[in-house]
Amino acid sequence: MKIVVLDGHALNPGDLSWEALEALGDCTVYDRTDDSQTVDRASGADILLTNKTVLSAEMLEQLPDCKYIGVLATGFNIVDIQAAAARNIVVANVPTYSTQSVAQMVFAHVLNLTQHVGDHSRTAREGKWTASPDFCYWDYPLIELAGKTMGIIGLGRIGRATARLAAAFGMKVIGYDNNPEALEAAECRRVELDELFATSDVVTLHCPLTDDTMDIINAERLEVMKPTAFLINTSRGPLVDQQALADALNNDRIAGAGLDVLCTEPPPADNPLLGAKNCYITPHIAWATREARARLMNTAIENVKAFLGGVAQNVVNRR
């Protein structure tokens, strides 16, 4: 059984082990694979594992030995799952592994925007506190979360975990989701989007990227938000119209944004959000705690074992 990991570095930069996967067959792990290298490296493999390396219909046509594709993530849009199904290739993903880590990152951004710990620590180290005529100073408004309203768009596992953290901070929580089951499980009041944008002090995105949700944050929605409100996005970059958000921030239409995802990653140097006012960007790391990555690797390997045992799990392209 030939196994090829096309881009293992993001999942395992060296602090985890591939040993359990290597025990299942002849295993080759590449840190990164360029599109021009994919077919050559994947040739002859029965099992492919990919994180962000695209496996298109055209590529799959050139890989007659492939029987299984394991996506080292929850999102699986990098694989043409219809083309894979047509070729009887099983495609499986890894759901739920990063729920707590992503919810934690939401509040890392929220707390940064409300307390600016890093900024104040930097200025203290630079000597501003030493030179201060007062025993304390602050360069930004300091904001207490208790009593503020968090609006959550998307009440799946991560949205609900975020809601629980918000409640623990004493926040009022409102949410929007089209899925009745998600609404039933959520510990918050369901509202329509117009009310959510107009009344929330923090809006956080946890919905999938679809035709309906692309640019759900646009100029019209930003205009409705409170000028003191913050936007958090740890979900998918294209949920946000980047130029509209940059304009809103630079014109003080909203107070700040915390983003872990952008439309293109890595972003080009001219991305308008890189220089936008009160915009804090992290490089798509909400999922990447060691604990979450260990769960991801363990589940990906269990998926492979299940496939080899004849009972595939977490399949996303059943025919």
Active site residues: 236, 265, 284
Question: In whole angstroms, what is the distance from residue 278 CA to residue 244 CA?
Answer: 14
Q: Are 157 and 163 in contact (CB under 8 A)?
A: no
Q: Could you give the C-alpha distances from 259 to 188, 230, 233, 282, 286, in angstroms and in order? A: 23, 11, 5, 6, 10
Q: Are 182 and 156 in contact (CB under 8 A)?
A: yes
- Taking phi over 0 as left and psi of -120 to 50 as alpha, with beta for the rest, 253 belongs to alpha
3-class state of residue 154 by DSSP: coil
Burial (CB count <10 Å: 0-12, 13-18, 19+), residue 100: middle
The DSSP result for 294-314, as a single string, is HHHHHHHHHHHHHHHTT---S
Question: In whole angstroms, what is the distance from residue 249 CA to residue 66 CA?
Answer: 48
Please give the sequence-ordered ranges of beta strands (E in DSSP) within the chain, or none if there are none: 2-5, 26-29, 47-50, 68-71, 90-92, 149-153, 172-176, 189-190, 202-205, 230-233, 256-259, 279-281
Question: In whole angstroms, what is the distance from residue 138 CA to residue 130 CA?
Answer: 14
- Token readout for 34 is 């360029």
Work out the number of other CB atoms within 10 angstroms of the CB of residue 228.
13
